[in-house]
């Protein structure tokens, strides 16, 4: 039976911060916005509707829980949630904290500019804060 292997671009551009029931919860290496990515640990799944009905419900629960925690923690103006996958076909859901006046407000984050790396200490601090917030 094939086992879950993370797409190499997701592997390169984000770091795992927690393993949830269904998904690997990852933090993107882009300091322009607090940007989480949920990757359901399932094989050969590209669309949300490729998941089993049970996994679809679990993904919806994880996404809502993570979004609410991210908003409470950051005080974001709006949480943006999206499953796009035109470039990386392995199913992944973006959960992003947006703020008035951020790097592309009110436009979308996808396809906009280049990632701005975190300072290593700032990244570790945010990772720890997020791990606490999503418990």
Compute the least distance from the CB of residue 65 to its own copies, in Å.
8
Give pairs for 59-65: CB < 8 Å, separation 24+: 59/22, 59/23, 59/93, 62/20, 62/21, 62/22, 62/23, 62/25, 62/38, 63/38, 63/93, 63/95, 65/134
Which two tokens mark 20? 């949830």
Site for its own copies contains 46 (CB under 8 A) = yes
Site for its own copies contains 65 (CB under 8 A) = yes
Rounded Cα–Cα distance for residues 113 and 132 (Å): 30
Compute the least distance from the CB of residue 90 to its own copies, in Å.
12
Site for its own copies contains 11 (CB under 8 A) = no
Binding pattern for the stretch 75-94 against its own copies, x by CB under 8 A and - elsewhere: --xxxxxxxxxxx-x-----
Interface with its own copies (CB under 8 A), residue total 34
Compute the least distance from the CB of residue 20 to its own copies, in Å.
15
Using CB under 8 A as the criterion, which residues of the chain lie in contact with its own copies when the complex forms? Answer: 46-49, 56-57, 59-61, 63-65, 67-68, 71, 77-87, 89, 98, 105-108, 110-111
């Amino acid at each position: 039976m094939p086992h879950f292997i993370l797409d190499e671009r997701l592997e390169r551009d984000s770091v795992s911060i927690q393993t949830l029931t269904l998904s690997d919860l990852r933090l993107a290496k882009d300091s322009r916005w607090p940007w989480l990515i949920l990757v359901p640990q399932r094989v050969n799944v590209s669309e949300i509707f490729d998941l089993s009905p049970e996994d679809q419900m679990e993904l919806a629960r994880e996404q809502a829980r993570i979004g609410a925690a991210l908003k409470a923690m950051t005080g974001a103006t709006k949480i943006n949630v999206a499953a796009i996958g035109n470039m990386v076909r392995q199913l992944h859901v973006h959960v992003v904290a947006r703020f008035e006046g951020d790097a592309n407000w009110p436009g979308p984050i996808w396809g906009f500019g280049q990632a701005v790396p975190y300072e290593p200490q700032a990244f570790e601090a945010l990772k720890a804060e997020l791990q606490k917030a999503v418990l």
